[in-house]
Amino acid sequence: MILFFRSKTLAVFLFLFIIILSSVLLSGGYQVSNQNEVIISFPRNLNLESLMRLFPLDPLMIEGEKIYFLIDQQYLSSIKEAGYTFTLENNRFDWPAKNSADRKFHLESGLNGAYHSYSELGSALKALATAYPGLSRLYILGKSLENRNIYALKISNYQAVKENKPGVALLGCHHAREWISVEVPLLIADYLLKNYNLDTHIKNIIDSAEIWIIPLVNPDGLDYSIFNYRLWRKNRRFNPDGSFGVDLNRNYSFAWGYDNEGSSPEPSSDLYRGPGPFSEPETLAIKNLFQNNHFSAAISYHSFSQSILYPWGYANLPAEKEDLFQQLASTMADLIYRVNGRRYEVGRASASLYLTNGNFTDWAYGFFQIPAFTIELPPIDLLQGGFFNSQEDIENIFKENLPAALFLAEWAISTYVKPSIPESEAKEKSDKNKQKIIKKEIYN
């Protein structure tokens, strides 16, 4: 997740980012590392909307009368020439996390602690598929740029043939630094399989649907975030200008490149959308999965901000199914609240936080007409940890999100209508739907 500042909702963005986990990062602080990025600050009362349209700034946090950003140092002279005054900050913050004594990482398994690296996730998924061969099957959807597997665990009571059941997709980690987004779908998979023979509620879901768990869309980026640069966001594509990475959640084809506010054409930007839609093997793997299966609903997990968002994200316009999206999202938020008393905000993505074009949820709805949600996991703001959830947070965040995921699966089951046309024809129809929708939304 990256937040786009908008003047009318500036107060929302007080949660922007960075709490330091001194027990993990060297010398007890956050180090920018060997990237070309530097930390700069602007006065808090600056018109951020115009500034962020001009330059690929990655917001960090608001502290006192300053707003802090990461920026590639090549843009510093251009920012000055545009008339903006900024302060070049030291590349180290030593501000302690709130309740830092309770938020330490323990180093039993390396820098990522209880969070899964790519190899650890692969082992966990293989263990589940081995332990529950009649209920699960592990697929490799494709390979990342650095030749890592993009895993999908299919959970259903019959694996031998392609089933005519509603599919529900739970995806995690489009963005590398959002480690918690790997853990939630993984733990949901574990819970479903372990409780199939113990809970008739779970048994009915697995018997009646295909639950696809894709915990790690961005394996290269995740490992880079763990072992090299904690704040890395994109994948690891080497760009022509010498920078690295494409924002995978700006690389889907629906409204790709619609404007330079919801994504960036600049390769060095953390919002870089790539040279074309589905230019990245990671997003192409998701596209192929959806085109070859019948999905009825999807959740893409991110962090942070504690919210449930639905289309559209590319423009502040209501989707044709907004009433349904609002109803489903509100029910999920209520179910989450009942677990730990934590309130997730609900709303249209473009109006609630920031503009995003070429994102997964717009694509899933725009092409396939299915309810698709972005769930931004806790915390709500930087003072509660930002991207740096403690290990102790994992279980609580999973538990509160479990009933929401189960509810969406049950909704998909209850409303499922078996396809009556061949898949090739369905694909052609979805393409026409996409063109019709985006023209209506953009030009009306």
60 and 139 both lie in a single domain: no
Give domain status of residue 376, yes or no.
Answer: yes
pLDDT per residue over 38-77, tens digit each?
888 888 777 766 777 788 777 666 666 777 777 888 889 9
18 and 128 both lie in a single domain: no
pLDDT per residue over 321-356, tens digit each?
999 999 999 999 999 999 999 999 998 887 765 789
140 and 62 both lie in a single domain: no
Please count the structural domains in the chain: 2
Least confident span in 20-24, 92-96, 191-195, 282-286: 20-24
Give domain status of residue 78, yes or no.
Answer: yes
Give domain status of residue 110, yes or no.
Answer: no
Task: State yes or no: pLDDT of 27 exceeds 80.
Answer: no
255 and 363 both lie in a single domain: yes
Instruction: Tell me the residue range of the domain where 31 lies.
Output: 7-102
237 and 379 both lie in a single domain: yes
pLDDT band at 391 (very low <50, low <70, confident <90, very high): confident
Give domain status of residue 112, yes or no.
Answer: no
Give domain status of residue 109, yes or no.
Answer: no
Looking at residue 418, its pLDDT comes to 78
pLDDT per residue over 260-294, tens digit each?
989 999 998 889 999 999 999 999 999 999 999 99
pLDDT per residue over 181-190, tens digit each?
999 999 999 9
314 and 227 both lie in a single domain: yes
Give domain status of residue 147, yes or no.
Answer: yes
pLDDT band at 3 (very low <50, low <70, confident <90, very high): very low
Least confident span in 102-106, 135-139, 181-185, 389-393: 102-106
Average pLDDT over all residues of the chain: 82
Active-site amino acid positions: 376
Q: Which residue has the higher pLDDT, 50 or 364?
A: 364
CATH number of the structural domain spanning residue 406 = 3.40.630.10
Residue whose structure tokens are 């001009």: 54
179 and 316 both lie in a single domain: yes
Least confident span in 55-59, 171-175, 297-301: 55-59
Task: State yes or no: pLDDT of 431 exceeds 90.
Answer: no
Task: State yes or no: pLDDT of 434 exceeds 80.
Answer: no
